[in-house]
Amino acid sequence: MRGIASPSSRRIRTYFDVAMYAVERGHHVLITKPAVKLLRHHVELLQMSRNHSVFVDVEHHKRFDPAHADARHRAKTSLGDLNYFYNYMSQPKSQLETFKAWAGRESDISHYLNSHHVDVCVSMVDGWVPRVVRASASEGIAEGLGCMKGTEDTITLMVEWQREGKRATGIYTASWTAPRFAGVHSNQSFHWQTWHPDAKSASIKPSEATTSQPTIRVSSSGTTCST
């Protein structure tokens, strides 16, 4: 097993080359997120790993956070099918003083933060396939803080998920232009909504939630889960 981690300023540029070098020599590879920037690099790594009978995996550590693990367990065992997922994750703009060496060049805020909650969402559902992906971004603040022209401040992805004739929506928003001294290193939350065929008899109640657990609300019209 070979683990790959590099400084942010070189991360996207080096991961693919280093991973391919290891795979071609028969090593299993673990890459810290995000793996690579281009879809064709994902496909090439996947194909090469199959050719050499090795594993290539990506480390998304937030799926193992207690709140996310609890929400995933509930989603898989009692909440029913995915209908709508929304997340927001941000860091204060003061972080750009550190990140401006690579922000907008080698990566962007969606690769850096959205990748976490996309992975959390994927880990909560089985068999759902993304059919349409749209992206929108705002600009202006990061440029004023010394980042290269065109650096996005906030990026939102809207994904249409499909499975067995059903359709769901996922919205993933990440920003590094929150207030400069926001009091937290990373502000994050997500909302999960699903249609539960027997919501009135679901065993999950709001009183079960604590500050370290997702909040579950059950009603006759559906079920929501928020962290």
Where does the chain hold its CATH 3.30.360.10 domain(s)?
62-226
What is the average per-residue pLDDT within 198-213?
Answer: 38
pLDDT, tens only, 133-186:
999 999 988 888 888 888 889 999 999 999 988 999 999 999 988 887 766 677
Confidence at 221, pLDDT banded by 50, 70, 90: very low
Q: What is the DSSP string of 89-138?
A: EEEEGGGHHHHTTTBTTTB-HIIIIIHHHHHHHHHH-SS-EEEEEEEEEE
Confidence at 91, pLDDT banded by 50, 70, 90: confident
Where does the chain hold its CATH 3.40.50.720 domain(s)?
2-59
CATH architecture under which domain 2-59 falls: 3-Layer(aba) Sandwich (3.40)
Alpha-carbon distances of 20 from 5, 9, 72, 87, rounded to whole Å = 14, 20, 32, 32
pLDDT, tens only, 12-32:
557 888 889 999 999 999 988
| Three-class SS state of 130 | strand
Tokens of 144: 């004023």
Overall pTM > 0.85: no
pLDDT score of 225: 53
The correct CATH number of 62-226 out of 3.30.56.10, 1.20.1050.10, 3.40.50.720, 3.30.360.10 is: 3.30.360.10
